[in-house]
Chain A
Amino acid sequence: MLSDIITPDLFAAAVRIATPLALAAIGGTICERSGIVNIALEGMMLVGAFAGVVGALATGSAWFGVLCAILAGALLALIHAFASINLRTDQVVSGTAINILALGLTGFFMEVIYGHPGTTDSAPRLMPVFNISGPTEGVLGTIWTWINGVFLSFTPIVYIAIFIAIFGQWALFHTRWGLRLRALGEHPRAADTVGISVVRGRYSAVLMSGALGGLAGANLTLEQVGSFTEDMTNGRGFIALAANIFGRWTPGGSYLASLLFGFADALQIKLQLFRDVIKIPSQFFLMLPYVLTVVVLAGVVGRAVAPAAVGKPYEKG
């Protein structure tokens, strides 16, 4: 039975499920490193998912949909940036408001554009990047099935996410952008006194997180599901936040943490297929990713230290 559970499929599913979480989590990392809490990732993802479908349906191009998703996420993030940087609103309140706004906006435009609530028509989708046929027989066949399944079976945004995680990890610790970003979240006044613009730095970080949230949404609709359903993000934005913390506010860590959540989810889906054999109600498996989130956030994995100035509005002078 174990060989029925542990299949290339399981790992491929883990990576697929991890992708939107990872993109949003890296968005959260960038945002919080600049000193702004972003609990609106959920809403940014949702708006991105919807805008992606709208763009793809209108033009017939899935890639145009991706662009729309990124822009929509960034646009929503602009509200958060204005509220938390210019107006110095409590960032959690602003984020909550944006999440509610996103839910309302997508529902409203659903009615306006498509004339009905619920789910949209199927949109054009992004297809797997590689389509290589390899040996199917014998030991070579098994090895090929694993390699193809675990590494080569994915759609473009999955690879983009991996690239962003690796590049982001490097950039955070080796570039001017990364150093300044870290400075902003730890001690904005210190950054200000050496001539770094806090406002500009934080705006760009929040917008980037919005764009990544939107891209995460595009992955959901244009690569995974193929259509938009109201509230389809289903808490992924919050799991992404947990992944960011678990990943200790680093892009690479966020990706790996998302992979863990993705694996938990993939495993529970797989285990549901075996409910006649395992005899545990499937609801318990469904809980797995969420229990993991709670465990992680409760600090079982050791205390992570957040950027010192995160959540605090910056006032000049």
Chain B
Amino acid sequence: MASPLLELRNITKRFPGVLANDSVSLKLNKGEIVALLGENGAGKSTLMNVVYGLLSPDGGEVFVDGEPVELKSPRQAIDLGIGMVHQHFMLIEPLTVTENIVLGNEPTTAGVIDIRKARADVVEISERYGLAVDPDAKIIDLPVGAQQRVEILKALYRGARILILDEPTAVLTPQEVKELFGVVRQLVTEGLAVVLITHKLEEVMASSDRVVVMRDGKVVGETKPSDTDMSGLARMMVGREVVFRIEKKPTVCGDTVLNVRNLKVLDDRHLEAVKGMTFDICAGEIVAIAGVSGNGQTQLIEALTGLRKVEEGTISFLGNDITHSSARQTIDAGVSHVPEDRHRRGLVLEFDLAENMILGDHRKPPFTKRGIMDPQAIAQITEERVEEYDVRSPSIRIAAANLSGGNQQKLVLAREVGRNPELLVAAQPTRGLDVGAIEFVHSRILAERDSGKGVLLVSLELEEVQSLADRILVVFEGRIVKEFAAGQASDEELGYFMTGGGGTKLTENSDTEGGESNDA
């Protein structure tokens, strides 16, 4: 039998205090899609960064075509035919698609870039693999799906035979996910081999030929999708049984908590991002905003939480007008906010757990009396909440930066929910979290709803929207284009409206046949 395209033997990689890869071995053959499945922190990305020459291993060997190779830099990996699409795209926003694709391998004569040849090459491979992109567009103007195609083209342009996709579907709509897997399937029939790094079980089941499961830096099992099912995979990945379906009691809709009327908000470029949204949230209800990233969700949340100026319209909360309230007034009124970017907005990473726990309440008793902080009261409440929210940390005196993503998010949740708000605004509360942590966050959000609080959930994950929401508002280009009650819409229907299928006007009929987009 021919030697595998790529083989890893006993790869070991240590970081200070962590064994990220513990003697990991893996084989990849020509023409197959191997899913590398594991929770966050299981060591999947570390392993692939070793293969791509971004990290050097502390032990073990890499073979390409049966030959031992040493990978000291991405350059060497590229030369061996290894390409990687990173979870956070490695694209340079102000540059064009063509410039991004050829960067590092530019066709030049005496140092001058032959831009016409570069463009022709890009058009050629983009047509050959059916990956449509505009070679002259700037990255900043492209939707994420197109950006991902650029990333794949980048690897193909460099002659990749082995393609590593790191969490490729995190930012895609269901339709884009389908398209992506179609493209990947075509690539392997042309003789490439693909490694798909993921923590999403459905993707593994739907698209891979073979699954390698990692946990705590080790390979804990290998199987074929046909030989297992989702719960089997989940058990291997987490090491215990996982509950998928969330048990949800029917809503008991109480008084109106939030009332938003004809809200208009500008973005940083002074363009209208929220173009007149109207909706209500009542006590004991989870309302989810579903939409592709960049359709006004960020600006909507910022307006609701006092972080961004409202241009037009009103926001009233429990009957009080908070349209022009500051963030501080909004918090004091009883609105809590789990921000979409926990690093930038949710936490001060350099602060310890206790300091992070009181942010926003730091000037109120019992944390502060007459302007002086009370360290004992702060420590006591932090300990209680860390316990209650299962934030795993050796001490409340270590910096939040040292926690894993899941524990950081639990810390944010502990602060925001612990404040006992009347409305919880949760933006992408499970972004980048693994199954175990997602389960926990979801159960806390449901608990808020069951205790009669209003919840506004903004999520790009349809699965999350579908399983948590009592009501789903689909947004497209700053407008609410469709409303569904829980369980009324399929993922495909949601995806259809999320991508503008229903036009930009709110239609009353619930069928999926949208009219022409008439942007009045």
Contacts and interface: CB of A to CB of B under 8 A. Distances in A.
Contact of A195 (B73, B93, B94, B113): B73
Nearest to A178: B113
Given A193-B52, A317-B49, A317-B54, A180 B103 contact: yes
16 contacts: A174-B115, A175-B108, A175-B113, A179-B113, A182-B92, A183-B95, A183-B103, A186-B94, A191-B92, A191-B104, A194-B78, A194-B90, A194-B103, A195-B73, A195-B75, A317-B54
A195 to B, nearest CB: 3
A191 B103 contact: yes
Interface in B92-123: 92-95, 99, 103-106, 108, 111-113, 115
B145 interface: no
Contacts of A195: 73-75, 78, 104
B136 to A, nearest CB: 14
Interface of B: 49, 52, 54-55, 73-75, 78, 84, 86, 90-95, 99, 103-106, 108, 111-113, 115, 154, 158
B84 A176 contact: no
B108 A182 contact: no
Interface of A: 174-177, 179-180, 182-183, 186-187, 189-196, 305, 308, 316-317
Grouping DSSP codes into helix (H, G, I), strand (E, B) and loop, the B interface class, with mixed when no group exceeds half, is loop
B90 A189 contact: yes
B358 to A, nearest CB: 29
Contacts of B115: 174
Nearest to B105: A194
Contact of B95 (A177, A186, A316): A186
Contacts of B92: 182-183, 186-187, 190-191
A194 B154 contact: yes
B74 A193 contact: yes
B91 A190 contact: yes
B103 A174 contact: no
Contacts of B78: 194-195
A42 to B, nearest CB: 29
Contacts of A174: 112-113, 115
Contact of B74 (A175, A177, A192): A192
Grouping DSSP codes into helix (H, G, I), strand (E, B) and loop, the A interface class, with mixed when no group exceeds half, is helix
Contacts of B91: 187, 190
Contact of A177 (B73, B86, B104, B111): B111
B334 to A, nearest CB: 37
B54 A316 contact: yes
Contacts of B111: 175-177
A182 B94 CA distance: 9
Contacts of A191: 92, 103-104
The 10 closest A-B pairs by CB, nearest first: A194-B104, A195-B75, A190-B90, A186-B92, A187-B92, A193-B90, A176-B106, A195-B104, A176-B108, A175-B111
Contacts of B49: 317
B159 to A, nearest CB: 13
B225 to A, nearest CB: 30
Contacts of A186: 92-95
B172 to A, nearest CB: 20
B55 A179 contact: no
A177 B112 CA distance: 8
A170 to B, nearest CB: 9
A180 B108 CA distance: 13
A186 B154 CA distance: 18
A196 B92 CA distance: 14
Q: Which has the most chain A C-beta neighbours within 10 Å: B73, B91, B92, B95?
A: B92
Q: Which has the most chain B C-beta neighbours within 10 Å: A189, A195, A308?
A: A195
Contacts of A193: 52, 54, 74, 84, 86, 90
B90 A176 contact: no
Given A191-B103, A191-B104, 7 more contacts: A175-B112, A182-B95, A193-B74, A194-B104, A305-B94, A317-B49, A317-B54
